[in-house]
Amino acid sequence: MDMRILILGGDGYLGWPTALYLSKNGHDVGVVDNFLRRHYDDEMGVSSLTPIAHLKHRIDVWDAATGLTITPYIGDLVDANFLEETIRDFEPEAIVHFAEQRSAPYSMIDREHAVHTQTNNVVGTLNLLYLIAEIDPSIHLVKLGTMGEYGTPNIDIEEGYIEITHKGRTDVLPFPKQPGSFYHLSKVHDSHNIHFACRTWGLRATDLNQGVVYGQETNETILHPDLMTRFDYDAVFGTVLNRFCVQASIGHPLTVYGTGNQTRGMLDIRDTLQCVELALLNPANEGEMRVYNQFTESFSLNKLASLVKAASHEDIEISHIDDPRVEAEEHYYRAAHTKLLDLGLKPHLLSQSLIESLIETAIEFRDRIDHKAILPTVSWRHTKSKLVTAGKNN
């Protein structure tokens, strides 16, 4: 079942460890990136807690450590000519698409950042769909979506589709979407475009609606320090568990937005790698767009804060601050996530030891923590927010 797999966004937090994981498992891997995520670091003035080597050096280190080769392609998905040349050169059997601006706060800074997010994400994916259809419609597209597409409806969330009976007639339709930011809206637009392309051109695609990912180490990234992936902790790109663990490492209060009863699906980074490979090894049929809800557990912000407080073994304060987002702070949340389990997913559930390891990583790189980058500066309630400009860590 080894295959040729092209990973878009292969220099990023998830793209890089996915490339290593699939390479180690015998697949022929190529990666595409334009280093836009690194540009965001320069723009924001804050970098990954963990130092990140340049992509070429990372690939050389992987080759030296394992004898396995990863093929790099440097360019932008919005450039259709570059993307066409890349697909024709690598001739992938499957494409894994991580190459999008992934931050909800970043998309809400102001008009320019909202437009950039939607242009980058939607146009890049639309280019990809057209080129798959033109070059090789048998290519299986595995696209990273987000559970944030659904919002927090007052009904159970199904996996992509819902059976509806209306005025005596029944149909299976895409689950209603209530995205919470211009970033999440871009993902909804992607989903609609992919669904249309599968119905119209007979493409095959799997949309992985992923929850919040935590963790920084995989079996592959720990082989050498220069194989590490990102650890984002700032209020714009950092995820909540990372932010809490960094705060705990420096004795900063754990800042919970609003009431803290907002609940989200979450999963370990190692499970992301499993899920992607399971989707690849069990491809969608011609003309089919499958949707898998990719998470293993659900936690409220309050629960996460209490777990980090316990794992820190310190008397860390939990502080509630005004929620910069416009979101339901009290809501029903129950989402189906059985399809990947049925394919063989073996989850790594959140443990105290994992949280302790994240805190230990934060302590190890404590001199790279920029305290000014931790608190939110982007408000959903204003069309012009203050951009983070904390001093860049080198």
Q: What does the domain layout of the chain look like in residue ranges?
A: 4-373
The per-residue pLDDT for 389 is 53
Q: Quick one: pLDDT band at residue 393, thresholds 50, 70, 90? A: very low
The per-residue pLDDT for 255 is 98
Q: Which of 99, 102, 293 is nearest to 181 (CA)?
A: 102
Task: Give the whole-angstrom CA distance, residue 334 versus residue 331.
Answer: 10
For the stretch 106-126, pLDDT in tens is: 999 999 999 999 999 999 999
The CATH number of 4-373, from 3.30.300.130, 3.30.365.10, 3.30.70.1520, 3.40.50.720, is 3.40.50.720
Please provide the average confidence, as pLDDT, over all residues in the chain: 96
Q: Quick one: pLDDT band at residue 382, thresholds 50, 70, 90? A: confident
Q: Quick one: pLDDT band at residue 387, thresholds 50, 70, 90? A: low
298, β-bridge pairs: 265
Residues 176-203, mean pLDDT to the nearest whole number: 98
Residues involved in catalysis: 146, 183, 187
Q: Quick one: pLDDT band at residue 383, thresholds 50, 70, 90? A: confident
Model confidence at 392: pLDDT above 70: no
Strands 169-174 and 161-166: antiparallel
For the stretch 70-96, pLDDT in tens is: 999 999 999 999 999 999 999 999 999
Write down the pTM of the prediction: 0.97
For the stretch 139-183, pLDDT in tens is: 999 999 999 999 999 999 999 999 999 999 999 999 999 999 999
